[in-house]
């Protein structure tokens, strides 16, 4: 049984004049996120504020962070990432890995025109069979429901609004696009099955940046390059 993670208040530093109901930075004249650059800055600021909000050393040591990793068939020109595997772990500095979740996923047929690249990637990278792999599940509804339940504990509380942040998961920067794509692929399948318009309330953030701010809070700042080696 997983322990409940401690709720930690987050107070983002405003760098625009308005925030949306979840405390996300928005434009001066619009209710939308400024642009890609502004959204990335918002995500980076969220990482920093999560660490700063821990306050004391003990709070930081016991705070839970969720780390995600995936393997996929391929990346299509439409930026689709059919998943073959997903793993999520709940981690704290004090306790290490507190909980882990893992599933192989049956994503169905390889997208038309991508068989060669999918086979090549399987052979040189993850080694997961592209079809007829008995541990893999195609119960996308259960996958999404399980992950929704697990990642509820990844939310913080925004002191500016008193409302919860999105679910927060971390990974290496070079895997962020793929991991976001996997969550989007599962969202699409979930909605196909249930005839709904469910959307993830979730952000995939930079794990190396998290390590950098954790080290900085302890007075032993590591470089981003060193953080890459630790992740």
Angle between helices 176-194 and 140-151 (to 10 degrees): 120
Q: Which residues contact 39 (CB under 8 A, 6 or more apart)?
A: 33
How far apart (Å, rounded) are the C-alpha atoms in residues 168 and 75? Answer: 23
Q: What is the pLDDT of residues 186-222, one digit of tens each?
A: 999 999 999 999 999 999 999 999 999 898 887 665 5
Instruction: Give per-residue pLDDT as tens, 80-125.
Output: 999 999 999 999 999 999 999 999 999 999 999 999 999 999 999 9
- pLDDT greater at residue 36 or residue 3: 36
The pLDDT score that the predictor gives to residue 54 is 76
Domain positions in the chain are 9-230
Q: Which CATH number fits domain 9-230: 3.30.420, 2.60.40, 3.40.50, 2.20.25?
A: 3.30.420
């Amino acid at each position: 049984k997983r322990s409940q993670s401690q709720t930690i208040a987050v107070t983002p530093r405003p760098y625009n004049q308005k925030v949306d109901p979840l405390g996300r930075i928005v434009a001066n004249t619009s209710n939308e996120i400024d642009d890609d650059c502004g959204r990335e800055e918002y995500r980076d600021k969220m990482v920093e504020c999560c660490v700063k909000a821990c306050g004391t050393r003990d709070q930081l040591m016991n705070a839970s962070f969720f780390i995600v990793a995936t393997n996929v068939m391929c990346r299509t020109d439409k930026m689709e990432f059919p998943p073959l595997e997903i793993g999520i772990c709940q981690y704290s500095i004090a306790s290490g890995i507190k909980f882990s979740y893992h599933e192989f996923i049956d994503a169905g047929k390889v997208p038309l025109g991508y068989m060669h690249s999918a086979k090549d990637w399987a052979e040189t990278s993850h080694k997961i069979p592209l079809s007829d792999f008995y541990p893999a599940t195609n119960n996308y509804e259960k996958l999404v429901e399980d992950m929704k339940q697990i990642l509820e504990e990844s939310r913080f509380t925004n002191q500016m609004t008193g409302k919860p942040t999105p679910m927060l998961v971390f990974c290496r920067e070079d895997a962020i696009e793929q991991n976001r794509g996997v969550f989007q692929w599962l969202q699409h399948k979930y909605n196909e099955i249930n005839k709904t318009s469910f959307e993830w309330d979730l952000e995939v953030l930079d794990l190396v940046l998290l390590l950098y701010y954790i080290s900085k809070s302890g007075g032993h700042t590591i470089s981003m390059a060193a953080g890459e080696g630790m992740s």
